[in-house]
Structure 1
């Protein structure tokens, strides 16, 4: 499953330490403004090496549009985008060729495929998300035409909800060779009513699947989410008025279909599994060993996940918009 979406689809390719990553976007309507300069700001938000709280791997992540665009506008044909990698240090992973890193996909990839790229996790690396962001940037250009906007914020880092202390939490973890996670929140505003389909095509199910498809995300809430389990029906139901809903506990989705209110999503982001503290694991021979992971890693991936989550949400929403247009015939 390297392809995401139904009418607006993207197929990503590439590994962490390969020569490049990339994506082919199919189903993008013609006439949408699109240039490398419109995509690059999204790549910059995800790019590592920007400050001391991030991995020092200094990838520029400059994109190159290879097809599907002419004179600054999409043609309706497949859009191919290439993202060269220039700052690999594969030698950092030589000692991990036959060792499974705790918290990573090394063990499961080994069992499933029998042959894996140990250099930074290969396809399972967070670097793969660069291709998703490039695709999401295209989706954003389409959503702008529909009056739909997406924004996000960090709610917590390591259980701390004070934004002034987020950087300190990350740097303390980095200093001790450890890592921390957090919680992010996303808002999609301007969504029309009617996006999503009943039963197996629910919009909230599509959003949850897209978020959980990001390697570092371990939990998703829509609207009140888990808090709804501690509320009564009279508290959770959103009263309806002539002017709209009085509250938004549902998070903008009822019965799997958007209701016109802002769509509200929260995601739990796990601590980065690559840490320099000693850890117990096994190797491919089943022997118990202790490892301490070297290399360039994020002590906290939360700040860089924001744009990835936004772009995955954009991909879900533009696909839903196109499905609705096909359904209604307008």
Structure 2
């Protein structure tokens, strides 16, 4: 099975199933000299992990990461970084009724039809649990991007029919982690929480969307057509489980705008460089970044595992039957999806930064051929008698 790798220079390759022994990821292309510890990664994993509130699955996974390669004496060596997250609370028995009877709107049948087999415990490779690997890799990308003053942040801007008003970048930074919904507008977050509770009590689920933004991305990343920044970002965001749409800039609202109203005039910025007046394009024009903030949103449908009675068929017995999908499942996805969306944006930006030569792909500390001693305790200079 292909499709387990993302990126061209900063490559992320993942493995693992929802109820297997462990999840794992290998990151190739991380420059040497980045100070990196498991604590740097754990913070974002904690934001994604299950069981963190009453509106997430009760599955008790600590999601503790172990780095087992690519780091020596606290710094990356330039070799592949291997990370493992053990599955501690897998309970596959509850999924036995669905081995040959696909759960409604899951990938059970399509996966089996394609491969002739599947790991049916918890959805196996198709499970959103696999995104734990993406967040681990994204944490490394975030730390590299920070050296270039690039920052990424997201928040939940809609749950069901409850939509948050537009908020500022500063409000997203300040408020998005203050509530369990991860909405940067506190009053709307309370309404969202109540609405989620209603669906959860009914044994149902609800969809929503995540707004994302990136600041500090330089102009000139991307290319026309198939390698455009928006095309690659769309691939990244539509890889997120349950994603049904991706938008940037005006998104679908652009169909309501005339050319005159949508077009943005040009002016000189403080450095004397041409810059668009406004940012309806979401920081991307002609598939290439403009240097303005990149922003957009991803829509996630309602979780498909719900305890309400539904109908399926058993392809082995040929019978139709009624089922209830019991187990530990989220009633809504965007709150835990925020760090996943952030990670995919970070991975996309970093890959382009490396491709454009904005970041040295070999080392973060200086030019190739210059031996630096400030980050390696066992450098030749430090080992002299």
TM-score, scaled relative to structure 2? 0.84
Quote the residue 2:46 is aligned against.
Answer: 44
Quote the residue 2:289 is aligned against.
Answer: 258
Task: For residue 271 of structure 1, give the secondary structure of its aligned residue in structure 2.
Answer: coil
Matched, 1:236 2:280: no
Matched, 1:177 2:203: yes
CA contact (8 A) 2:22 2:84 kept: yes
Tell me the CA shift for residue 70 of structure 1: 1.0
Q: Which runs of 5+ in 2 are unaligned?
A: 164-187, 270-274, 362-366, 368-385
Tell me the CA shift for residue 245 of structure 1: 2.6
Question: Radius of gyration: which is bigger?
Answer: 2
Q: Which moved more, 1:238-247 or 1:5-14?
A: 238-247
What is the aligned counterpart of 1:303 among 307, 312, 335? 335
5 Å-filtered alignment, 1:140-289, equals 140-161=142-163, 162-243=188-269, 244-285=275-316, 286-289=318-321
Task: For residue 34 of structure 2, give the secondary structure of its aligned residue in structure 1.
Answer: coil
Q: Which runs of 5+ in 1 are unaligned?
A: none
Task: For residue 133 of structure 1, give the secondary structure of its aligned residue in structure 2.
Answer: helix
Tell me the CA shift for residue 215 of structure 1: 1.2
What is the aligned counterpart of 1:324 among 356, 360, 366? 356
Matched pairs, number: 330
Tell me the CA shift for residue 327 of structure 1: 11
Distance 2:192 2:69 in 1: 41
| Residues 229-273 of structure 1 deviation map (CA, whole Å, 9 limit, x = unaligned) | 110011111222212332110000001000000001211110000
Distance 1:152 1:177 in 2: 28
Distance 1:130 1:13 in 2: 11
5 Å-filtered alignment, 1:93-172, equals 93-161=95-163, 162-172=188-198
Distance 1:52 1:121 in 2: 22
Task: For residue 343 of structure 2, give the secondary structure of its aligned residue in structure 1.
Answer: helix
Distance 1:192 1:324 in 2: 10
Quote the residue 2:68 is aligned against.
Answer: 66
Distance 1:107 1:239 in 2: 51
Q: How big is the alpha-carbon RMSD for the aligned residues of Structure 1 and Structure 2?
A: 1.5
| Residues 143-194 of structure 1 deviation map (CA, whole Å, 9 limit, x = unaligned) | 1111110000111101112322111111111100000010110001100001
CA contact (8 A) 2:305 2:329 kept: yes
| Residues 79-110 of structure 1 deviation map (CA, whole Å, 9 limit, x = unaligned) | 00000010111111122221101111101101
Query: Structure 1 segments of 4 or more deviating over 6 A?
Result: 326-330
CA contact (8 A) 2:354 2:360 kept: no
TM-score, scaled relative to structure 1? 0.97
